[in-house]
Amino acid sequence: MPDSVPIKTNISMSHPSEGPAARKTARPRKVKARPMNAMTADHRNRFVPPKAKTEMLQIIAFLEDLGDELDDMIDLSTPNPNLRMVLLLMRGHLDGRVITATSLIGASRVPYATANRRLKEMLAAGLIEQRPRTKTGKSFSMHPSETLMEQWSQLTSRVRRLAAGASDTDGSGREGVDYYFGGSYMDAKSIPPLQVLAEPLKLAGGVRVLVHGDPTFMVMDNLKRQFEQTVGTMIHQRAFSIDRLREETLRNAARKASRYDIIAVDLPWLGDFAEQNILMPLEEAMDIARLDPADFHTAGWEAAQWNGRLFGVPAQTTPELLFYRKDLFAKAGLAPPQTTDELLKAAKALHNPQRGQHGIGWNAARGTALGHTVLMALADFGQPILDLPPIAGGFDTRNLADRKYRATIDTDAGLRAAEFLLELLKYSPPEILSMSWYERIRPYAAGRIAMTYGYTLLAPYFELDETSPANGQTGYLPHPAGPGASPIAPVGGYVMGIPANLPEDRVAAAVEALIVFTSPEAQKLYVQNGSRTNPRYSVASDPDVRRLSPVFQAVDEMSWRDELQFWPRPPVPEICDIIQVCGEEFHDMLRGIIPPREALRRAQGRADEIIRTHEKT
């Protein structure tokens, strides 16, 4: 068992992700523009996607080492100053470090005059941009231009293919990739401990935080003293069940001044909270580059945006996966299921009620719990709950703010999903129709269920319990896919944002606290103390983190394969009500009260009415 603080909480929780709540209309508030170190629009667009960033850093390390070897081997070899300066410039950009002209000249390994001349040539060619570092404009920082970024991205792909092909000894195409890029650079980096801020935060009464009472945020509360030392002031954290969290957030938005500096927001709520002006667009309060956007899992980062603006920082990226008992599968001679048919076959083979063992657990409780299962099942068969336009790897959610969408439930894919759930019912525990978030995990941890769908944030229930039969025997898979669809891992979790009605004099300090709470150093600390969620690539690559649980490498690989997706639960303002409707109508279907087609027809009609009602308001 890893060294960790046991997760304990006496807070009543309905589930770790979403829930219905009585809607309350928050009074719209105009957010004032705040001074900030603003980036230009073209520089914001120059953020590097996580996978590309990792590859670029690996290529930089490879070329640096290769250059050193060539320079040492051939006495008459002349350093390439342009390449050396570009390597430093790109590394600084990706790592978020300030690079100056002096540091570039020093990295060139040629005489000062030669390096200075080459640097001016690169500036003139539009490969490097200068940005003033001080108000006087006498000191500059150096940054790669959009042109250089595009050229370097292309070079990264070419060098990767060349290196992989040159070292592919068995024709598989994998050995070179694993040797050069699988663990030589990123996996070897260990994130340092949290460092105290140079200046303590000046917030009257301390930092006030509103969160959900789940294992990850409870770990944060257990570490409160350490974080108080880091930020230099007291931290007051209030944790609620999911329904009460939403209600308190809406009440707080109606107040003249927010009682909280930072609030946790469930991902599906984001669009509604952005539309109601409950959350502050973060670019109005800070330089987004300070967050290192490229370090976040793509799905988690995109889910934090609405209408092209960032409204929160991913604090938990917790996909729903299929947990399965590797030992039971091996004993039965079963392969891990990749398709829904294989899943049903495995569930049937492992279902033995006479011995107290059941095939699979899932959310089937009436309402919100089952509603989420319906959305996930639709996605398993290749269809979102809304008529989103298809794109490579999934569906486009960028234009949700235009509100030009309709529900897609009563469809052929919807019928296949409904029939799949009816089949699952045959191999489920007898209490399945009242089973929700925690109820599906506890029997799995106790050894009564061979498989279960579950969010990674609940993995501590068996990973940190040495008496659990699932401890050390759990495999992690994306959702098995239906015919013609691809496996996906639907993303859940929370972002941490700043209330739009936070008093002006508290915003700057709230930003600094937000950066600390969501930093790689903090995320690593959460993991070391029991959390099994992580929104950042750098944390998943940390060797200390990987030793604690296989779930981090599994999720990281899913992200690289573009299996982490948040389109199954698009964060539109109507989503909570639509989820509730699906959970009610499909529950009647599972109980045998109505047939599948009737459940689809009813859910479609009610969802259509919900969207029409919201359009009018």
| Mean pLDDT along residues 111-117 | 89
pLDDT above 70 for 443 = yes
The string of DSSP letters for 450-462 reads: EEEEEEGGGTHHH
SS3 (DSSP) at 49: coil
Domain residues of the chain, as ranges? 41-188
Angle at CA 260, nearest 5°, toward 256 and 266?
Answer: 110
Selection from 448, 374, 356, 216 nearest residue 440 by Cα: 448
pLDDT above 60 for 268 = yes
Selection from 297, 326, 292 nearest residue 97 by Cα: 292
The string of DSSP letters for 515-573 reads: HHHTSHHHHHHHHHTT-----BHHHHH-HHHHHH-THHHHHHHHHHTT-EE-TTS---T
Which among 2-11, 69-78, 105-114, 364-373 has the top mean pLDDT?
364-373
- Integer angstrom CA distances of residue 563 from 288, 343, 486: 26, 18, 8
pLDDT above 60 for 153 = yes
- For the chain, the average pLDDT equals 85
pTM to 2 decimal places? 0.70
- Residues recorded for the chain: 617
pLDDT above 60 for 48 = no
pLDDT at residue number 73: 66
pLDDT digits (tens, 9 = 90+) for 340-358: 999 999 999 999 999 999 9
28 confidence band (pLDDT: 50, 70, 90): very low
pLDDT above 80 for 67 = no
DSSP strand pairing (305-306 vs 390-391)? unpaired
| Mean pLDDT along residues 378-389 | 97
| Mean pLDDT along residues 359-387 | 97
pLDDT at residue number 165: 62
- Integer angstrom CA distances of residue 583 from 9, 363, 383, 421: 28, 10, 17, 12
The string of DSSP letters for 228-266 reads: HHHHTS-EEEEEE-HHHHHHHHHHHHTSSS-S-SEEEEE
| Mean pLDDT along residues 226-249 | 93
pLDDT digits (tens, 9 = 90+) for 272-303: 999 999 999 999 999 999 999 999 988 899 99
Q: Which residues pair with 453 in a beta bridge?
A: 322
Topology of domain 41-188 in CATH is Arc Repressor Mutant, subunit A (1.10.10)
CA distance 519 to 161: 33
SS3 (DSSP) at 277: coil
- Integer angstrom CA distances of residue 113 from 2, 77, 86, 89, 103: 55, 19, 18, 19, 14
Tell how far CA 311 is from the center of its chain.
Answer: 14
CB 489 within 8 A of CB 478: yes
The torsion angles phi and psi of 79, rounded to 5 degrees, stand at -60, 150
CA distance 611 to 606: 9
CB 608 within 8 A of CB 406: yes
SS3 (DSSP) at 3: coil
